C-alpha cells in the first residue's frame, strides 16, 4: 500500500474529522507532506507534531506535551492519531492515543525496517522512565498499519541494519527456513517485501495467541533482556537493534553453555550476526547489566523469565530466580 493512498485507507475506518500526525525530524522532510496531503485530500483536518528523532524523545515530558497538543486542537473520541515514523514514534504516539480521552484510534505508518517488522504490529505502546525502557505503557492495537516498503528505501545503512536484528530474531524464534533465506546480506534488498511479510505473519501469530504478553508472546523478546539493559547503559547512543544483536548473541552462548541448545546452533546465530556486520562486544559488567535487569518488565517478584534458544526456529521461556540470573550473566559477560 502506498503512503499517498493513506487518505483513502483511513476513510474506510474513520468518517472525516481530525487527525494528528506525530512524526520525527528525520522523517518529516521526506514523508510528512505526502501523508498530510493525502489525508487532507480525503477530507480530514490534519495537524502535525514533529519530535526530535531518537529514543531519548520517548519520555514523559513529550508524552504530556502531545496530550496537551491533542487537547488544544480539540481532538475528540471520533478522531485519530497517525504515527509516521520508526519505533520511538510508534510507541510514543501509540501511548498518547491509548491515554488521550481514555483511548482514541491510532494508525501506524512504519518508516523503518524495525518498526515495519516489529513495533508497529501488536499494539504495544510505551514511554521510557529514568529507571528503564518501556516501563510505562499500554496495549492499544492500531486500527490500521500502513506498510509501504518504498519508505524504507531512504533508510541510512545503520538504521536498516538495526531492523535486520529484529528480522534475524524473528527467524531464530520461529522459522528456520526464513533464517536460511536471509543468510546473504547482499541479497536481502531483493527479497525484502517477502521477508517483511513473513515477519509480520510470525509476529501476528504470537500476538493472536497472547495479546497481553502473559506467556508465549515473551518469546518475541529473545535477546531483549540484555539488549534493553545495554541500550539504557549506553545512554541510548546504541540503538535498539544493535543492542538486541548483542543480547541475542549472549543468550545463544548461554543457551549452548547450559546445554539448552547445541554449540552448532549458537555458532550459526553468531555467524549470521557477524556476517551482517553487527559489533557483538559488550562493554558493561555483569553487575551493571544485572542492576538494569532488576527493573525489566519480565521480572516478576524474585524471578525473571529468560528467553533461551533450543534450536534455530525454536526458543523457550525459562523462569529463573534473580540470584541465578546474576550467576548466569557472570558466565557470559
Contacts with ligand GLY, residue ranges (CB under 6 A): 118, 122, 124, 213, 217, 220-221
CB 218 → ligand GLY: shortest distance, Å? 8
- In the structure grid, which three cell numbers stand for residue 55, read together? 529514543
Collapsing DSSP states into helix, strand and coil, what is residue 219?
helix
CA distances from 223 to 93, 164, 220, 237, 299 (A): 25, 13, 9, 18, 15
Collapsing DSSP states into helix, strand and coil, what is residue 313?
coil
Q: Which is nearer to ligand GLY, 80 or 223 (CB)?
A: 223
Q: Which is nearer to ligand GLY, 220 or 329 (CB)?
A: 220
13 exposure class (CB count in 10 Å sphere: 0-12, 13-18, 19+): exposed
CB 221 → ligand GLY: shortest distance, Å? 6
CB 41 → ligand GLY: shortest distance, Å? 33
Give 141-177 as a DSSP string.
--SEE---GGGGGG--HHHHHHHHHHHHHHHHHH-HH
Q: Which is nearer to ligand GLY, 22 or 220 (CB)?
A: 220
Please say whether the beta carbons of 144 and 80 come within 8 A. Answer: no
CB 246 → ligand GLY: shortest distance, Å? 17
45: number of Cβ within 10 Å = 14
CB 122 → ligand GLY: shortest distance, Å? 4
CB 178 → ligand GLY: shortest distance, Å? 17
If residue 20 lies in a helix (H) or strand (E), which one and from where to where? strand 18-24
Biggest CA pair distance of the chain: 60
Q: Which is nearer to ligand GLY, 268 or 298 (CB)?
A: 298
Q: Which has the closest alpha carbon to 119: 51, 65, 165?
A: 165
Q: Which is nearer to ligand GLY, 198 or 217 (CB)?
A: 217
**DSSP H helical segments within 210-285, as ranges?**
224-233, 240-257, 263-275
CB 3 → ligand GLY: shortest distance, Å? 23
Q: Which is nearer to ligand GLY, 251 or 286 (CB)?
A: 251
Q: Which is nearer to ligand GLY, 184 or 208 (CB)?
A: 208
Please say whether the beta carbons of 132 and 12 come within 8 A. Answer: no
If residue 87 lies in a helix (H) or strand (E), which one and from where to where? helix 87-99
Amino acid at each position: 500500500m502506498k503512503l499517498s493512498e493513506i487518505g483513502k485507507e483511513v476513510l474506510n475506518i474513520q468518517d472525516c474529522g481530525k487527525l494528528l500526525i506525530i512524526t520525527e525530524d528525520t522523517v518529516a522532510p521526506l514523508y510528512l507532506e505526502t501523508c498530510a496531503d493525502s489525508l487532507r485530500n480525503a477530507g480530514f483536518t490534519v495537524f502535525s507534531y514533529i519530535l526530535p528523532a531518537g529514543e531519548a524523545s520517548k519520555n514523559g515530558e513529550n508524552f504530556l506535551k502531545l496530550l496537551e497538543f491533542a487537547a488544544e486542537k480539540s481532538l475528540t473520541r471520533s478522531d485519530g492519531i497517525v504515527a509516521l515514523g520508526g519505533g520511538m514514534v510508534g510507541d510514543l504516539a501509540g501511548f498518547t492515543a491509548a491515554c488521550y480521552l481514555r483511548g482514541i484510534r491510532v494508525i501506524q505508518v512504519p518508516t523503518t525496517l524495525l518498526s515495519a517488522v516489529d513495533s508497529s504490529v501488536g499494539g504495544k505502546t510505551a514511554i521510557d522512565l529514568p529507571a528503564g525502557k518501556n516501563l510505562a505503557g499500554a496495549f492499544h492495537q492500531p486500527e490500521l498499519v500502513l506498510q509501504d516498503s518504498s519508505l524504507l528505501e531512504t533508510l541510512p545503512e545503520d538504521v536498516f541494519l538495526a531492523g535486520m536484528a529484529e528480522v534475524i530474531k524473528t527467524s531464530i524464534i520461529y522459522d528456520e527456513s526464513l533464517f536460511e533465506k536471509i543468510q546473504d546480506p547482499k541479497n536481502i534488498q531483493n527479497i525484502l517485501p517477502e521477508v517483511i511479510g513473513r515477519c509480520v505473519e510470525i509476529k501476528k501469530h504470537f500476538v493472536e495467541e497472547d495479546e497481553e504478553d502473559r506467556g508465549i508472546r515473551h518469546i518475541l523478546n529473545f535477546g531483549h533482556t540484555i539488549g534493553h539493559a545495554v541500550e539504557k547503559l549506553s545512554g541510548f547512543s546504541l540503538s535498539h537493534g544493535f543492542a538486541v544483536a548483542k543480547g541475542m548473541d549472549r543468550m545463544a552462548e548461554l543457551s549452548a553453555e547450559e546445554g539448552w541448545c547445541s554449540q552448532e546452533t549458537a555458532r550459526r546465530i553468531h555467524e549470521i550476526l557477524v556476517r551482517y556486520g553487527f559489533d557483538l562486544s559488550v562493554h558493561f559488567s555483569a553487575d551493571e547489566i544485572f542492576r538494569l535487569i532488576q527493573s525489566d518488565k519480565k521480572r516478576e517478584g524474585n524471578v525473571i523469565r529468560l528467553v533461551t534458544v533450543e534450536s534455530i526456529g525454536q526458543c523457550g521461556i525459562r523462569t529463573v530466580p534473580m540470584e541465578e540470573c546474576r550467576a548466569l550473566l557472570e558466565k557470559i559477560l
